[in-house]
């Protein structure tokens, strides 16, 4: 009985994480900072360079990248 219950709970947890992963993937494409490579989750800093739009995680990264170029 206890084995069955824990199996159901484990199964539910696996389904839950899979669904969350799927939802996260669907909700907007993944954006990575062009300077440090970190995943940009909220409020991306966008800069246009040579006609290309680059996304940064913060103003600091954008400034560092602009200096480097
Ligand atoms: Zn960054």
Q: Is 32 left (phi over 0), alpha (psi -120 to 50) or beta?
A: beta
**What distances in angstroms separate CA 1 from CA 4, 6, 7, one per listed residue?**
5, 9, 10
pLDDT score for 31: 86
Q: Where are the domains of the chain?
A: 1-27, 31-69
pLDDT score for 6: 95
CA dihedral sign of residues 58, 59, 65, 69? positive
Q: Specify the pTM.
A: 0.55
- Cα 25 to ligand 1 centroid, rounded to whole Å: 21
Query: 5-58, pLDDT tens digit by residue?
Result: 999 999 999 999 998 887 766 656 678 999 999 998 888 999 998 899 999 999
- Cα 30 to ligand 1 centroid, rounded to whole Å: 14
- Cα 62 to ligand 1 centroid, rounded to whole Å: 7
- Cα 6 to ligand 1 centroid, rounded to whole Å: 42
Q: How many other CB atoms are there within 10 angstroms of residue 66's CB atom?
A: 13
pLDDT score for 28: 60
Q: How confident is the model at residue 3 (pLDDT cuts 50, 70, 90)?
A: very high
């Amino acid at each position: 009985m206890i084995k069955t219950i824990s199996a159901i709970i484990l199964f539910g947890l696996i389904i839950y994480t899979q669904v969350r992963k799927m939802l996260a993937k669907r909700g907007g494409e993944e954006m990575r900072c062009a300077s440090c490579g970190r995943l940009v989750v909220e409020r991306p800093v966008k800069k246009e360079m040579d006609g290309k739009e680059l996304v940064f995680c913060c103003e600091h990264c954008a400034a560092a990248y602009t200096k480097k170029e």
